[in-house]
Structure 1
Amino acid sequence: MRRWLLWLPLCAFGVIVAVVAWGLYRPADRTVYSRLVGQPLPDFTLAPMVQGKPGVSSADFRQGTPRLLNVFASWCVPCIAEAPHLMTLKAAGVPIDAVAINDKPDAVTRFLRRNGDPYARIGDDRHSRLQLALGSSGVPETFVIDARGRIVKQHVGDIRAEDVPILLQTLAAAK
């Protein structure tokens, strides 16, 4: 019996190591999701970011057509990675509006020239006020807005090829 008691601390240590290793192997999801999913877009009006494109407002999303609202920045590396997939969505007929965060018009113009321009409208959110109002925690993020201006889905991070069919299905259901 005493021999088993000698091994008890080693077994306890082994259990602690196993729990810590499991926690490191499977970290918790720390993604911050908006509380506005399922709610109407907050009222906003943003001035145009680049010449030749109108700004964006909440009224644009209550016109009877589901749309995407993409939160991006020209300085954002994942935004560059998602650009081809946004172009794929545009080619599929998806209307996409954007909010440029903490950016400058000339930088956004260069970004669109290099990576393609999938946007119908681009609003200037230099101080991230709309981004915070949406509950967006970073860039890029994309919101699916239904025909009545309600947020149906939030996609955190860059859109990848495997996300395109899911977004198309969500938009089709949002009519």
Structure 2
Amino acid sequence: MAKISPMMAIPVVVFAAFVGLALVGMGREDPESLPSAREGKTAPPVALNEFPGKENFDDATLRDGEVKLVNYWASWCGPCRAEHPSLTALSEEGVPIYGVNYKDQLGNAQSFLEELGDPYAAVGRDEQGRMALDWGLYGVPETYVIDGEGTIVLRFAGPITSRVLEETIRPAMEKAAQ
């Protein structure tokens, strides 16, 4: 009987590990969603720079007893532009949305809001992306549904479309209100 050298076994082990990871990944409920270690936990601290001419927000704002959204956005982000009408509609319904302008030039961010409108109850700037790191941001746009006690009920990565609004965001807001 021929002996198998340890070097010959390495490709087999690597392949088996890859197959195992693929099977675990395929077993997820929604392969489109990205997992969040923050859901069900208190929102990380708010540490934002001022956005001139706009109301800012802080940790106390996230714990004011109301369901709210925290939305990371940037003027250079095409999907942020695409989701803006959905945010505006929510804002017009009275949903408080707190904006975090992410790694953006102030003038460009101001022009973005002047052109498309400002759906935010308050907005601050995360110029270096430090707060985003604490929140586990994958990229912009990204929206968090926060309950009245400041707990993250949902993190949604990507633009909020009409479908996402009805199938994901609104149900999370209802859950947050309970």
TM-score normalised to structure 1 length:
0.78
Q: Which runs of 5+ in 2 are unaligned?
A: 1-25
Q: Structure 1 stretches (4+) deviating beyond 6 angstroms?
A: none
Equivalent of 1:44, from 43, 46, 53? 46
SS of the aligned residue for 1:174 comes to helix
CA-based RMSD: 2.0
Letter matched to residue 172 of structure 2? T
**Alignment partner, residue 143 of structure 1:** 144
| 2:156 alignment partner in structure 1 | 155
Cα displacement (A) at 1:127: 0.7
Is 1:101 the counterpart of 2:131 in the alignment? Answer: no
TM-score for both structures, normalised by structure 2: 0.77
Q: Which structure 2 residues correspond to residues 1-175 of structure 1 after superposition, within 5 A?
A: 29=31, 32-49=34-51, 51-165=52-166, 166-175=168-177
Three-state SS of the structure 1 residue aligned to 2:62 is helix
* Cα distance in structure 2, aligned partners of 1:169 and 1:44: 25
Give structure 1 stretches of 5+ with no counterpart: 1-25
Distance 1:130 1:79 in 2: 19
Structure 1 counterpart SS, 2:100: strand
Identical amino acids, percent of aligned pairs? 36
Q: Which has the larger radius of gyration?
A: 1
Give the letter aligned to residue 95 of structure 1. P
1:32-67 alpha-carbon deviations (Å, 9 max, x no partner): 432111100112231222x22122222210000010
CA distance in 1, matches of 2:109, 2:120: 12
Deviation at 1:143, TM superposition (A): 0.2
